Copies of this chain bind each other. A is one copy, B any other.
Amino acid sequence: MTFEENLERLGLTLPPAPPRGGVYTPIQDFGENLLYASGFGPAIDGLTPILGKVGKEVSLEDAQEAARRCTLNLLAALKAKIGDLSRVKRIVKLLVFVASDDEFYDQPQAANGASRLFVELFGEEVGLAARSAVGMNVLPGNIPVEVEAVIELKAE
């Protein structure tokens, strides 16, 4: 199944590409067919914001939902950049930052909210990336999760 078919099957739609929050470019080319995606947060217009630190104000379940929303925002920006997400050869690497209470130890479970969505949308061969999932004392705007990625496109 294609990315778009999987998106429909899951009852999802991509949000509008999020506005920039600083002096950076959302998605940058490098090398041959490689892209670096900036850190994306979970804010999506029309959805109740998820704010705070995981293990404190934010539950693991809400952290997973936040990680999913980060992924949708990242994919929206990626689509705005490359036009057609079937051009993705593989999601190479995710770095998932989880704003955490000092005694919260389940960053990988929180990050799975992002990783599972990549796999559901692209399939395991394309969507299962290398990953680090780490605890942060605080993230921009008090968001609980931020996701950055390295992505490889098919050779044209």
Contacts and interface: CB of A to CB of B under 8 A. Distances in A.
Nearest to A137: B137
Contacts of A142: 105
B132 A95 contact: yes
Interface string A79-109: 0000000000010111101011111111111
Given A34-B30, A92-B36, A24 B131 contact: yes
Interface in A106-136: 106-109, 111-112, 115-116, 119, 128-136
B139 A136 contact: no
Interface stretch (A2-10, A11-19, A146-154): A146-154
A138 B39 contact: no
A46 interface: no
Nearest to A142: B105
B28 A106 contact: no
Interface residues of A, number: 59
A1 interface: no
A103 B138 contact: yes
A114 to B, nearest CB: 9
A75 interface: no
Interface string A23-61: 111111111111011110000000000000000000000
Given A100-B137, A102-B138, 13 more contacts: A23-B115, A23-B131, A24-B94, A25-B131, A30-B152, A32-B32, A38-B132, A97-B134, A102-B137, A105-B142, A107-B139, A132-B146, A134-B136
